[in-house]
Chains A and B, each alone.
Chain A
């Protein structure tokens, strides 16, 4: 430190070091940005030419130029709706229980530790779980319903966490007011807490569901098929989804199929973007309208 104050060379060196580090830092930060731009550009260049109306209305085919994503798109939509129908009530219910009803005891702590750990379980393991429980034991076969149940389990930890955060935004005074007027706990939740918390819960839930749309591995494991000649017409139909179709096309050696994959990716990303935009819109629209 004595040296520090004394020599001008030292100061010059430190100054240079500082400058260099700032530059390195800026370059590193640019790295993330560049990667994203390169990735999106590459995919747009590869796939944009394939995005014609027939691509959206055709079934998969042996010929790359005639193949389309209709069953995958419909399958993704069905799977998303079905997963939401299963996961949202259960997830929000669990969140309500933990936030509004449960006392802090060993059970709630156990549930909380569980949720944290479940969020870190690799998605392919959920595939094994779905394969054994839904496909085999409950004999749902490789159906839309089995897929949705598996995805619901996968999405639950995220949905519960998001819903709890939403419930926490509701001020305690509202609950106290309702209870003081003689409402029961559930009436308070149902008529007071939920209406106020709904927008932020919805935002979180949509964001978690957008993960489901892009998820591939568990569906491959439970056996989403790629070639189906008809659209799924019941809960027990075989199905395919966009990411599985993209995976299949990507792993083909022919270049033409990879263009299809890129086009499929554009559609998938557009879908995700829409969901995220919807979530952000909901958040911005309702954020400032809290009554208190």
Chain B
């Protein structure tokens, strides 16, 4: 009877289970033992999540410790020269941080406004038909592997921009940042839309009833009411951009420049980690341990952004009318 198979199957399984339980005391002992074993196994599965976090923190800290024995924390955080593999190495992480901030900022400058406007349009203006086209498009954009975005940045956006900006280098922060903006656009747009959606209709009606236009209602009432949720989406977007690796590794270059000039090559923290692990820096050397120190900094930065974003989001969910 394949037509109503699920219902039948469920019924049959009840019987099976019951018969098993009720047979003998030996059987009952076996069932109870099985229950304990399974429970233990499932508990271990859940524990693995916690262990992963501890392992990440443990490894980043212990390996960085080796690094900070050789290099002072002060040099790491204040020097502006990053040449860890040179004969005369200098370990100032600021150029990498700068590269990360620069590309992430460019990404947010694109994804912030575009994401917010997309969210406003979708939640306040668009017809259901438009929504049916746009939402899946955003989902597809979110599902494209980042290495593909990297290819797109290097072989399409950079040559395109070079036609308008003559001084643009082949590897640059601008094109990597813009493409990263496209990558985080779905995150920003969909979380902002959730925030706008959570604004109760009574506020909109009240504003419209007072004679405000739709435009005035959106900018004067709805967006301010959703501001915390919108800012949470921006923070999460930045966090994604900060942790993104492939786009910047491909299109932003590999020169740790201490600069805010978007037209030249920069190196981000993530791109540096990839560069070193792919290269032939010997294991155990200070040059090699840098990746864990940089990784620790990266981990702390994204963790902070995520936590703040999460806290804001939880608050506005609680305040929902």
User: Per-residue 0/1 for B118-158: is the Cβ within 8 Å of any A Cβ (1 yes, 0 no)?
Assistant: 10111001100010011001101101111110111011100
Q: A14 is contacted by which of B13, B215, B244 (Cβ under 8 Å)?
A: B215
Rounded to whole angstroms, the CA-CA distance of A101 and B10 in the bound complex is 20
Contact A120 B148 (CB under 8 A): no
Which size class do B's interface residues fall under? Answer: 35 or more
Contact A101 B145 (CB under 8 A): no
Rounded to whole angstroms, the CA-CA distance of A129 and B45 in the bound complex is 18
Contact A122 B245 (CB under 8 A): yes
The chain A residue sitting closest to B138, CB to CB, is A32
B10-44 interface with A by 8 A CB criterion: 10, 13-14, 16-18, 20-22, 31-32, 34-35, 38-39, 41-44
* Interchain nearest-CB distance for A14 vs B (Å): 5
B270 close to A (CB within 8 Å): yes
* Interchain nearest-CB distance for B103 vs A (Å): 14
B52 close to A (CB within 8 Å): yes
Contact A124 B52 (CB under 8 A): no
A side interface size, CB within 8 A: 101
User: Per-residue 0/1 for B45-65: is the Cβ within 8 Å of any A Cβ (1 yes, 0 no)?
Assistant: 111111011011001100100
A276 close to B (CB within 8 Å): yes
A74 close to B (CB within 8 Å): no
| SS of B interface (majority) | helix
Contact A160 B49 (CB under 8 A): yes
Of the 9-residue stretches A50-58, A61-69, A88-96, A227-235, which lies at the interface with chain B?
A88-96
- Chain B interface residues (CB < 8 Å from chain A): 4, 6-7, 9-10, 13-14, 16-18, 20-22, 31-32, 34-35, 38-39, 41-50, 52-53, 55-56, 59-60, 63, 114, 117-118, 120-122, 125-126, 130, 133-134, 137-138, 140-141, 143-148, 150-152, 154-156, 182, 185, 189, 210-211, 213-216, 236, 239, 242-246, 249-250, 270, 273-274, 277-278, 291-292, 295, 298-299, 302-303, 306-307, 310
Instruction: Give 13 CB contacts A-B under 8 Å.
Output: A32-B189, A35-B141, A108-B46, A123-B245, A125-B60, A125-B299, A187-B31, A191-B17, A192-B13, A217-B274, A221-B274, A246-B151, A247-B246
- Chain A interface residues (CB < 8 Å from chain B): 1, 4-5, 14-15, 17-18, 21-22, 24-26, 28-29, 31-33, 35-36, 38-39, 42-43, 46, 89-91, 93-94, 96-98, 101-102, 108, 110-111, 114-118, 120-129, 131-133, 153, 156-157, 160, 174, 177-178, 181-188, 191-192, 195-196, 210-211, 213-217, 220-223, 243, 246-247, 250-251, 258, 261-262, 265, 268-269, 272, 276, 289-291
A183-B14, A216-B246 known; 16 other A-B pairs, CB under 8 Å? A5-B211, A89-B45, A118-B52, A124-B274, A181-B18, A182-B17, A183-B21, A184-B35, A185-B39, A191-B13, A217-B274, A220-B278, A243-B145, A247-B249, A250-B147, A251-B250
